[in-house]
Amino acid sequence: MSSKKKKKLTPVQQEYQDFAKKREPQRPILQNCVRSFLAGGTICLIGQLISTFYMRFFDFNEKTAGDPTVATLIFLAVLLTGLGVYDHIAQWAGAGTIIPVTGFANAMASSAIEHRSEGFVLGVGGNMFKLAGSVVVFGVFAAFVVALVKMLILKGLGGV
C-alpha cells in the first residue's frame, strides 16, 4: 500500500494493515521463477519436438511445419484442459503455462467447459468469445498497424 493511502487510514485501520502484513505468507519468488522457467521451457521443447517430427516424417520444411505444430499444441492443451491435467500443471508451474498458444487454448477450453450448462450458443459460445473477442480485435488491429508501417517504410525506400 502506498504511503499516500496509509495517511488516510484511521489508527485502527492502520493497526489492522500492519497486523495483516505481518501474517501474510511469504511467496517463494525464486522457486516460482524456476518452476515457470522449467514449465515454459518444457512446453517450448515439446513444440520443437513436434515441429521436428513433422519435418522428419511428413516432409514439411522449417517454414511449413509451424502451422501443424501450433494446431497440435492447441489440441494437446485443450485435451489436457478437458481431462483436468492442465490445471494441475498450471498450479505447479504458475506463469510458465501461459505460453501464448497453449495458455490461450487452455483459457478458451476452460471457459467453454465452465459454461456448458448454459447451452452451446449462449453458454459455451458466448462466454468463450468474451475472452477471445478482445484478443481477436487487438490481433487484427496490431496486424493492420504493422502492415501500415511496413507499407510506409517500403514506400519510403522506393517501393522495393
Tens-digit pLDDT profile for residues 35-65 = 999 999 999 999 999 999 999 999 899 999 9
Structural domain of 64 = 30-156
In b/e form, how buried is each residue of 58-93, taking b as 16+ CB within 10 angstroms?
A: eebeeeebeeebbebbbebbbebbeeeebeebbeeb
Tens-digit pLDDT profile for residues 97-145 = 888 888 888 888 887 887 777 777 777 777 777 777 777 788 889 999 9
In a domain, 14, yes or no: no
Residue count of the chain, please give it. 160
In a domain, 23, yes or no: no
Q: Which three cell numbers stand for residue 141?
A: 488491429
**Cα–Cα dist 45/17, whole Å:** 44
**Cα–Cα dist 17/85, whole Å:** 38
Domain count, the chain: 1
In a domain, 80, yes or no: yes
pTM for the whole thing? 0.69
Q: Which three cell numbers stand for residue 76?
A: 494437446
